[in-house]
């Protein structure tokens, strides 16, 4: 899942082979997250808690090394707290959905925040959509309808899992709005650190409230440790390093490696077979994610 963003270089995009490799590797690291959530035996919300708690010392070091001169005033602190609350609900909903639906669906719907932000930008700008934006919304609706219908054919549990992942995409969109404003002043790592600090106790409270086991059981600490490092450090770090070197269209296309890898893992590990109708639905949602990142003339929210 695309859980990091960095502002593009306004002076132009200068990407080399290492930047492209980092872009792909970052998406691959994030794509393995749903598999690790299933491997963890702590409960899905508890896995999200450890995912944010364990990397905090490394995040603090990265935030200190990449610190910016911008001061952390009350307004920025409140923005980070608000972003942290939405991020907690995002991860909780997404992890619950991961255990109830197919990995490919979970990854696609969890990334739906890009399309939601595009729609929000149109509403905020009070204007009609451009042709690419209208095509993106239409593709998202058609693809989501196909995938939701297919999940309902499989089981009601899978359908409910899709809804949790769609809710995660909505929460992620609302996380991005305050987080991006704070990131422009404080830097990506500092905001991620503050957001994680704000979200961690909320996730722990939610896990305890629903009666999940918090400590790992027979599976041990390996799944949650690898989840924390691969998602919050490796995946985030590679994307922070690479995203500013690419235009939004390339970033959107690279994002599609995530559902492709998730579908492959779902097939090889969990026997989640895809029929042609599933592939059509995935292609439509994937096209919507790419179109949502194509810059419009005005009113775009990034």
Start-end of H helices in the chain: 17-31, 33-39, 44-53, 56-65, 74-98, 103-110, 113-125, 131-154, 156-186, 188-209, 222-228, 236-242, 248-255, 257-270, 276-292
What is the distance between the alpha carbons of residues 198 and 182, in angstroms, rounded to a whole number? Answer: 14
- pLDDT at position 302 is 30
For residue 82, which phi and psi values (nearest 5 degrees)?
A: -65, -45
Residue 71 CB contacts under 8 Å (≥ 6 apart), including other chains: none
Q: How far apart are the first and last CA of the chain?
A: 17
Residue 193 CB contacts under 8 Å (≥ 6 apart), including other chains: 56, 59, 60, 62, 63
In this structure, how many other beta carbons lie within 10 angstroms of the beta carbon of residue 271? 7
What is the distance between the alpha carbons of residues 202 and 197, in angstroms, rounded to a whole number? Answer: 10
What is the distance between the alpha carbons of residues 60 and 57, in angstroms, rounded to a whole number? Answer: 5
For residue 56, which phi and psi values (nearest 5 degrees)?
A: -55, -45
Query: What are 279's two structure tokens?
Result: 């592939």
- pLDDT at position 301 is 31
**3-state SS class at 67:** coil
Residue with tokens 């609350």, as numbered in its chain: 85
- pLDDT at position 70 is 63
Handedness of CA 261, 281, 166, 40 (dihedral sign): negative
- Cβ-contact 148, 105 below 8 angstroms: no
Query: What are 80's two structure tokens?
Result: 């980070």
Residue with tokens 């390339």, as numbered in its chain: 250
pLDDT tens track for 1-32: 555 444 444 445 666 788 889 999 999 999 99
- Cβ-contact 254, 103 below 8 angstroms: no
- pLDDT at position 299 is 31
Residue with tokens 């991020």, as numbered in its chain: 87
Residue ranges for the chain with pLDDT beneath 70: 1-15, 67-70, 294-302
- pLDDT at position 266 is 94
């Amino acid at each position: 899942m695309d859980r990091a963003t960095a502002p593009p270089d306004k002076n132009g995009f200068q990407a080399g082979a290492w930047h492209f490799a980092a872009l792909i590797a970052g998406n691959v690291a994030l794509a393995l997250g749903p598999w690790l959530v299933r491997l963890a035996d702590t409960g899905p919300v508890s896995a999200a808690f450890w995912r944010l708690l364990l990397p905090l010392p490394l995040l603090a070091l990265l935030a200190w090394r990449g610190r910016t001169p911008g001061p952390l005033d009350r307004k920025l602190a409140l923005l980070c707290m608000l972003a942290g609350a939405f991020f907690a609900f995002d991860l909780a909903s997404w992890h619950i959905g991961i255990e109830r639906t197919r990995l490919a669906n979970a990854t696609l719907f969890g990334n739906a925040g890009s399309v939601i932000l595009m729609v929000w930008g149109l509403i905020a700008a009070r204007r009609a959509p451009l042709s690419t934006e209208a095509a993106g919304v239409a593709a998202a609706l058609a693809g989501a309808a196909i995938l939701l219908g297919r999940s309902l054919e499989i089981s009601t549990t899978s359908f409910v899992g899709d809804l949790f992942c769609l809710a995660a995409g909505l929460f992620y969109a609302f996380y991005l709005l305050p987080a991006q404003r704070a990131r422009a002043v404080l830097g990506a790592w500092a905001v991620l650190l503050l957001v994680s600090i704000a979200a961690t106790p909320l996730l722990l409270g939610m896990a305890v409230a629903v009666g999940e086991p918090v400590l790992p059981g027979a599976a041990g600490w390996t799944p949650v440790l690898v989840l924390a490092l691969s998602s919050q450090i490796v995946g985030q770090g590679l994307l922070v390093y690479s995203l500013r070197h690419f235009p939004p269209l390339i970033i959107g296309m690279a994002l599609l490696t995530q559902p492709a890898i998730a579908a492959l893992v779902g097939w090889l590990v969990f026997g989640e077979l895809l029929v042609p109708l599933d592939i059509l639905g995935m292609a439509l949602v994937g096209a919507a994610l790419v179109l949502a990142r194509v810059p419009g003339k005005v009113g775009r929210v990034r």
